[in-house]
Amino acid sequence: MPARAPSCAMPAPIVPAPTTPRRCGTSVISAAVCSYALCGYLTGMSTLLIIVIAVVVIAILAFALLGGRRRRHTKLRETVGEHRQQAQTHANRANELEAAAAEARERERTHAQNAAEAEERLPS
């Protein structure tokens, strides 16, 4: 009864017979194993290598884009903080001016009252 390969086993690649003998081993079996290893294993490795390189490149691009986004957001947060500080400064200045205007109105009202009282004291 011949041994059957499992259904999940990878079929051997079809490799043309070399025109010159290879120096992989001394027997025909080791030459077949060597040719399979050279063709199938390297092909599989190159595909795997391509996949790994693609994943690494995508990760680097994503990291670069996210890093740029983080820098922009940080810069915007700093700008927002500066704008809030300037707005607070303007609000404080506006409050000071409003207080000065209220004080000036109070002085004017007091002066008008004093002038009216002084006018009443004058002989007619």
- pLDDT tens-digit profile of 87-118? 999 999 999 999 999 999 999 999 999 999 99
Q: What is the pLDDT of residue 88?
A: 96
Higher model confidence: residue 121 or residue 86?
A: 86
| Section 16-44 average pLDDT | 55
Q: What is the pLDDT of residue 122?
A: 84
Q: Say if residue 43's pLDDT is above 70.
A: no
Q: Say if residue 42's pLDDT is above 80.
A: no
Q: What is the pLDDT of residue 56?
A: 96
Q: What is the pLDDT of residue 123?
A: 79
Percent of the chain with pLDDT over 90: 50
SS3 of the chain: the string is: CCCCCCCCCCCCCCCCCCCCCCCCCCCHHHHHHHHHHHHHHHHHHHHHHHHHHHHHHHHHHHHHHHHHHHHHHHHHHHHHHHHHHHHHHHHHHHHHHHHHHHHHHHHHHHHHHHHHHHHHHCCC
